[in-house]
Chain A
Amino acid sequence: MSISSQNTQDLTANTTEASLTERRRRRRERISVSLRYCLLIIFGLIMIYPLVWLIGASFKSNNEIFSSPWFWPKEPTTQGYVDGWKTSTPYTFGHFFLNSMKIAIPKVIGTAISSTLVAYGFARFEFPGKKVLFAILIATLLLPDVVTRIPQYLLFRELGWLDTYLPLFVPQWFAWEAFFVFMLVQFLRAIPREMEEASRVDGANSLQTLIFIVVPILAPALVSVCLFQFMWTMNDFLGPLIYISTVENYPVSLALKLSIDATEAFNWNQILAMTVLALTPSLVVFFMAQKSFIEGISTGGVKG
């Protein structure tokens, strides 16, 4: 027993030199890692603090909001939510949410369908003028939005679509967003064609191949398209501002602004509470979709 322990000691003595430098190296590494993470955490907190503050402040009373920059409410109250929900209009905030959905849902669906069709066409078919048409499509990416605002407005006025939601989602049914088309085309180019060829050999026509094979494989990309479109729509302020004139038809983004205009003394707690609510759909949709971002089912069907 004693002999063996002595042996061990000798061994330890021999290795101390090596283990010392080793330990020093490890310590240095640990410090550098902790430093890096500290920095990241600090910056992360700085980025997210306004959001945290917003949520905290929505539970404060109107007076407290300006008296302390700290996000935690001293006397938490849901009064902001209760009052804010009622709004200063004859409609509750739920009504405006519904309005937003009436824009967002057809818009998202239209974007997904039309962008997929157009991208599939560009990525998989040969037709005369394909190159030129694709170049034009990409060129519209570079076109500033403002350039098209006025002609569009005039067009929709002629159609009698003012104060309806049509101008806000009908264009999206025609693959209006070149960015999404471009994104899907890039995604499709990376997918081997053999699966589609196999389905054609199996007897599917182009449309069946698109629906049964391409769309499922494209799902992760399509989810991001829908997600982006949904969030952009919820956040869109200018579009509704231009085309929607009656309060009854206001979406959330306009309704929020409305509550700032309507009251002489701003009820900030109500505004903040409704802002938090306005954020939730996007957040919920985002976290629901996150899974399919990560999953990425596009792998596994083909080798290589």
Chain B
Amino acid sequence: MAHLSLKSVEKVYGNSFKAVHGIDLEVAEGEFMVLVGPSGCAKSTTLRMIAGLETISGGEIWIGDRLVNDLVPGKRGIAMVFQNYALYPHMKVHNNLSFGLKLKREPKEKIRNATAEVSGILEIGELLDRLPKQLSGGQAQRVALGRALIKQPEVFLFDEPLSNLDAKLRASMRVRITDLHKRLRDEGRPATVVYVTHDQVEAMTMGDRICVMKDGRIMQVADPATLYERPANAFVAGFIGMPEMNLVPVDLSWSESGKPLLELSGKGVAIDEGLARRIKKKSGKVQLGVRPQHIEVTTPNADNCFVATITNLEFMGHEINLHARSGDADFVAVISSERFDKSLQRGSKVGLKPVGSKVHLFDVDTGENISLASVDD
């Protein structure tokens, strides 16, 4: 097993479209790295460059201590699982599994043992004599996983492997893959994984670290908790979390007692709980970021809250998504069903009070998070 590193990697496609703008990424040995981002942000392109299926227009890719830029995929020590499984349709499952080993002219005995081991781990023993078209989606994806596993590669690459499965199966496959990763680690042969997905649940639950991408650039690389609690910029803040973080332009000023005041459509709200220490003394337009879970819904005449009118109430079961509008700004707040005041309905006025310790402020122009400063202290 080996670590993987990308050094200012660029990709320019044949039609001179620049898909990847010099990204740097270090994936430690045995680490589960998730690449996540909206459609078209070049996750697949990046992964395919690591695999060797796409040429590298600039920069270097290292696997272990080998520069792999000019190596063919088969020589890079990688294995890949594709979104549509890409099983060989004319080969029985066991041949699908052992194709790579056969090409390497491994001894028959070894191939048989490896096939048995992998099919045991993935519970595909009964399927070995079937053709891919005789498999269900979940089974096919397990075979595809087995085809990667059997090669004992240095780096596993996954490109949205679960997105063709239904929600239930996806959840169980997710667990299966993370379990497998842990198991390999415990057995002393940790697998370095790069896992592409556009599903943030997958990203948050599976990744040791997550790399959030946008338009061929890396926005932030961090572990899931950091990503959620301390997003580096407004994009990451908005991308991670369900429902999306509220991002509202406000005017920042300071009260006499030194508290930050956020002003939205004429009403100032003083934010307490240490926000003052986290931001530099600046004022003017900023973007307020607060997660729906971190908004208290109060009466409209309470202190230090934005007054808003309810536009919609979504009943989700254990909680309720409250959509409200204050001036030009739309807010979403999540309230647990038990605490919900039944008298509230569309058109009611409510007060929305951001929880100060969870509030983020972002620079309006760069989107950079300017409220991270003194948490480090």
B and A form one assembly: yes
Known: A198-B147, A200-B53, A200-B74. A300 touches B86 (CB 8 A): no
Q: Which of B84, B99, B132, B140 contacts A199 (CB 8 A)?
A: B99
Known contacts A203-B103, A301-B89; A194 and B72 CB within 8 A of each other: no
Q: Do residues A303 and B78 form an inter-chain contact, with CB atoms below 8 A?
A: no
* A216–B100 alpha-carbon span in the complex (Å): 17
The chain A residue with its CB closest to the CB of B165 is A303
Is A45 part of the contact surface with B, judged by Cβ < 8 Å? no
User: Is B73 located at the chain interface by the 8 A CB criterion?
Assistant: yes
Near B by CB (< 8 A), chain A positions 269-304 give 297-304
Assess the B86–A298 pair: CB atoms within 8 A: no
Cβ–Cβ contact B74 & A195, under 8 A: no
* CB-based contact B100/A303 at 8 Å: no
User: Closest CB-CB distance, A56 to chain B, in whole Å?
Assistant: 43
User: Which chain B positions have C-beta within 8 A of A208?
Assistant: 103
> A203–B99 Cα gap in the complex (Å)?
9
Across the interface, do B100 and A302 meet the contact criterion of CB distance under 8 Å? no
Question: How far is A303 from B143 in the complex, measured between Cα atoms in Å?
Answer: 13
Whether A300 pairs with B133 at a CB distance below 8 angstroms is yes
Q: Does B104 contact A (CB under 8 A)?
A: yes
Contacts of B85 in A (CB 8 A): 301-303
The smallest beta-carbon distance between B181 and chain A, in angstroms, is 19
The yes or no answer to A204 lying at the interface (CB within 8 A) is yes
Asked if A297 and B87 sit within 8 Å, CB to CB, the answer is no
Q: Once the chains bind, are A301 and B14 in contact (CB under 8 Å)?
A: no
B140 contacts A303, C-beta separation under 8 Å: yes
Interface centre among A202, A203, A298, A301 (most CB of B within 10 A): A202
Q: How far is the CA of A204 from the CA of B103 in the complex (A)?
A: 7
Cα A208 to Cα B99 in complex, Å, equals 11
**A187-231 near B? 1/0 per residue, CB < 8 Å:** 000001011011111111100100011001101000000000000
Whether A194 and B86, one on each chain, are in contact in the complex, defined by CB atoms closer than 8 angstroms, is: yes
CB distance from A151 to the nearest CB of B (A): 38
User: A198 contacts which of B52, B82, B133, B134 (Cβ < 8 Å)?
Assistant: B82
The answer to whether the Cβ of B278 comes within 8 Å of any Cβ in the partner chain is: no
Q: Which of A126, A192, A194 has the most CB of B within 10 A?
A: A194
Contact with A along B70-107 (1 / 0, CB 8 A): 00111100111011111111100000000110011000
Q: Could you tell me the distance between the alpha carbons of A302 and B104 in the complex, rounded to whole angstroms?
A: 24
**Contact between chains at A301 and B74 (CB < 8 Å):** no
Query: Provided the pairs A198-B82, A203-B100 are in contact, do residues A301 and B88 lie with their beta carbons within 8 angstroms?
Result: yes
CB-CB < 8 A to B83: which residues of A?
Answer: 194, 303
Q: Is the CB of B104 within 8 A of A198?
A: no
Closest A residue, CB atoms, query B78:
A201
Asked if B182 CB lies within 8 Å of chain A CBs, one says no
Determine if B14 and A126 form an interchain contact, defined as CB atoms under 8 angstroms apart.
yes
Are A197 and B74 in contact, with the CB atoms below 8 A? Answer: no
Question: Which chain A residues border B89 with CB–CB below 8 Å?
Answer: 195, 216-217, 297-302
Binding site for A on B (CB under 8 A): 14, 51-53, 72-75, 78-80, 82-90, 99-100, 103-104, 131-134, 137, 140, 147, 151, 164
Chosen A-B contacts, 18 in total, with CB atoms closer than 8 Å, are A192-B86, A194-B86, A197-B53, A198-B87, A198-B88, A199-B88, A200-B73, A202-B103, A203-B100, A203-B104, A217-B90, A298-B89, A300-B87, A300-B132, A300-B133, A301-B86, A302-B89, A304-B164
Could you tell me which A residues sit within 8 Å of B by CB distance? Answer: 126, 192, 194-195, 197-205, 208, 212-213, 216-217, 219, 297-304
With A199-B99, A303-B83 already in contact, 11 other A-B pairs whose C-beta atoms are closer than 8 Å = A195-B88, A198-B82, A201-B51, A201-B74, A202-B74, A205-B74, A297-B90, A301-B85, A302-B86, A303-B164, A304-B164
